[in-house]
Amino acid sequence: MGIGKHVYDEGFMVMVKRCGILMVVLGAAAMLVAPARADEGAEAKKAVDAFVAAWRTGDEKAILGTLVVPAAREEDIRAVVESMAAISRLQDAATKKFGAVSAADYFAEGSGQFETRLKGIKEGPVKVMGESAILTIPADETTKTQGGTIILVKSGATWKIEGASLFNMTPERQKETAELVAFSGKLTPIANQMKKEIVEGKYAAAVDAYQEFFTRYTAALKEMDARPATVPATRGK
């Protein structure tokens, strides 16, 4: 396993698992709803395809366009989306500069966990209830990836992902939400600066760029771990 895959697993993907991205715990009543017709479920699931496609472009506006964002969580969700977009742009810059194979060794998307999650999403059942739907994602024992659910909402003629549920930003998880938002705020400028330096030719090889990214990233994590834990008093209401 390359250093890139390792740190992505231990970093961004750990943030994903720790803070509950793509997960939300729903009540038992929702689970008793009869399954939707196959065509209804497939149509609703297009919201996830749109989200992933937008993420891969590295355009936060495009990503946000695939979400229904509650006003109370707009700032938090925007911070997380900006970090996701910044990572995508960094990966793209590394690929263009160092080549796909070399870049993949150091700036990969988490040792197959991301693709496994996408496979689970594509195979997961969908229950449609009028203008909303629940997409169930099965757990994967091979990668130790937990299962979960995503809430989808019909906005006009288009299905979108409910943003607060996507990142599991519930009132009961204010501490985890604060950690996720804080981490995102640290990660975004690091990824943006590294992307700029790669484009400018500061690094001779992908390993050099990644070692620098790893150093900055680790310092940011230590800084977060050293500070007192706080929970925003005005968010999540």
Which pLDDT value is given to residue 44?
A: 84
Cα 204 from Cα 189, distance rounded (Å)? 22
Residue 22 pLDDT: 29
**Token pair for 163:** 């943003």
pTM, rounded to two decimals: 0.73
Does residue 127 sit within a domain?
yes
Residue 151 lies in a domain: yes
Query: In the β-sheet with 148-155, what is the strand arrangement from edge to edge?
Result: 67-68, 158-162, 148-155, 132-137, 126-129
Q: Cα(33)–Cα(54) distance, rounded to whole angstroms?
A: 30
Residues with Cβ within 8 Å of residue 175, at least 6 apart in sequence: 229, 231
pLDDT at position 210: 92
Residue 14 inside a domain? The answer is: no
In the prediction, which pLDDT does 79 show?
94
Asked, for residue 41, whether it belongs to a domain, the answer is yes
Determine the length of the chain: 237
pLDDT tens digits, the chain, 237 residues: what are they? 333 344 434 444 444 443 333 232 222 222 223 344 446 678 888 888 888 889 888 899 999 999 999 898 999 999 999 998 998 899 999 999 999 888 888 876 554 555 666 666 767 788 888 899 988 877 777 666 667 788 899 988 899 999 888 888 888 888 988 988 998 999 999 999 999 999 999 999 999 999 999 999 889 888 887 665 443 333 333
Instruction: Taking the CA atoms of 214, 219, 223 and 226 in sequence, report the sign of the dihedral they define.
Output: positive
Question: Is residue 180 assigned to a domain?
Answer: yes
Structurally, how many domains does the chain consist of? 1
Q: Would residue 2 count as lying in a domain?
A: no
3-state secondary structure of 170: coil
The 10 Å Cβ neighbour count of residue 218 is 13
**Does any domain span residue 146?**
yes
Task: Give residue 124's domain range.
Answer: 27-226
- Long-range contacts at 155-160 (CB < 8 A, ≥ 24 apart): 155/68, 158/47, 159/43, 159/44, 159/45, 159/46, 159/47, 159/133, 160/47, 160/50, 160/66, 160/67, 160/68
In a domain, 126, yes or no: yes
